């Protein structure tokens, strides 16, 4: 398994300076966000990239074993479950820009969220809209040779009922721990959910959670990372463990300590 970090806000460094920092500090994978309203420090906008920008990005991530993309999500008004067809189609088109970028820079995965809606729809209707959206994205991804990871906290049965060609699951251990781990309780532990999903797991986001705050450095909360790594090894996961830590004055040290903890478990 590789250990990476999600570019977001490491001090006052620019986007490319954060990539350089990750490489200099021993990370062998990198991930980044793509969204139209992100500043150059936190991510990139595929729609406005010039050829020179694409070349610079490709050169920056080439030394890493793997690169991963996080597509726009509900923070950017993206929803794959909106009953408003225009909203849903616009969201799909926006995510497809990230899929195209992934194919151009040889990114291993593109993580997507289901998103949210204020409409009064039933859980079954929500699942149906999500399935419809994912099938459209899956077709695009398969044509581009790209892998999608749905960052799921529900609807895991979707991957048993639907035969996706290029879509799996992105496990986010912090978000799955919300509400006392309600998302994984049918399998008792996070490790149990990981074993249940098995080869459907295509990417992993790691951060700690203390019951109130997520995106904490490993060891700052209550998540059992030893169990998680053990379960991932049992299902032969060989991808990236991507650290996603919140900006703070001690973020650099938090990344270093988290990397050290992970290396000790691998």
- We report the CATH number of the domain holding residue 13 as 3.20.20.150
Q: What confidence tens digit (pLDDT) does each residue in 172-184 have?
A: 999 999 988 889 9
Whole-number pLDDT of residue 252 = 95
Q: How far apart are the first and last CA of the chain?
A: 8
| Of residues 181 and 265, more confidently modeled | 265
Whole-number pLDDT of residue 123 = 83
Q: What confidence tens digit (pLDDT) does each residue in 83-92 have?
A: 989 999 999 9
**Angle at 172 (CA atoms; ends 31, 176), nearest 5 degrees:** 165
Whole-number pLDDT of residue 124 = 83
Q: Is the pLDDT of residue 40 over 80?
A: no
Query: Which domain covers residue 115, as residue numbers?
Result: 2-265
Q: Is the pLDDT of residue 61 over 80?
A: yes
Q: Which of 36-50, 178-192, 226-240 has the highest mean pLDDT?
A: 226-240
Number of folded domains that form the chain: 1
- Rounded to an integer, what is the distance from CA 8 to the centroid of its chain? 13
Largest CA distance in the chain: 49
């Amino acid at each position: 398994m590789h250990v990476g970090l999600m570019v977001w806000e490491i001090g006052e460094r620019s986007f490319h300076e954060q990539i350089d920092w990750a490489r200099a500090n021993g990370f062998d994978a990198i991930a980044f966000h793509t969204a139209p309203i992100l500043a150059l420090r936190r991510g990139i906008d595929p729609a406005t990239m010039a050829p020179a920008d694409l070349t610079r990005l490709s050169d920056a991530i080439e030394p890493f074993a793997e690169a991963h993309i996080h597509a726009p999500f509900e923070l950017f008004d993206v929803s794959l479950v909106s009953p408003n067809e225009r909203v849903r189609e616009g969201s799909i088109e926006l995510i497809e820009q990230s899929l195209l970028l992934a194919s151009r820079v040889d990114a291993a995965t593109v993580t997507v969220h289901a998103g949210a809606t204020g409409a009064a729809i039933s859980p079954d209707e929500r699942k149906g809209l999500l399935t419809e959206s994912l099938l459209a994205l899956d077709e695009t991804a398969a044509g581009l040779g790209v892998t999608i990871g749905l960052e799921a906290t529900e609807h895991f049965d979707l991957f048993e009922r639907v035969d996706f060609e290029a879509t799996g699951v992105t496990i986010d251990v912090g978000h799955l721990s919300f509400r006392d781990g309600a998302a994984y309780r049918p399998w008792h532990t996070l490790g149990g959910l990981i074993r249940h999903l098995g080869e459907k797991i295509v990417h992993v986001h790691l951060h700690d959670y203390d019951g109130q705050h997520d995106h904490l450095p490993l060891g700052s909360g209550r998540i059992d990372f030893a169990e998680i790594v053990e379960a991932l090894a049992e299902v032969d996961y060989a991808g990236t463990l991507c650290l996603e830590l919140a900006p703070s004055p001690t973020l650099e040290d938090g990344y270093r300590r988290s990397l050290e903890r992970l290396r000790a478990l691998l």
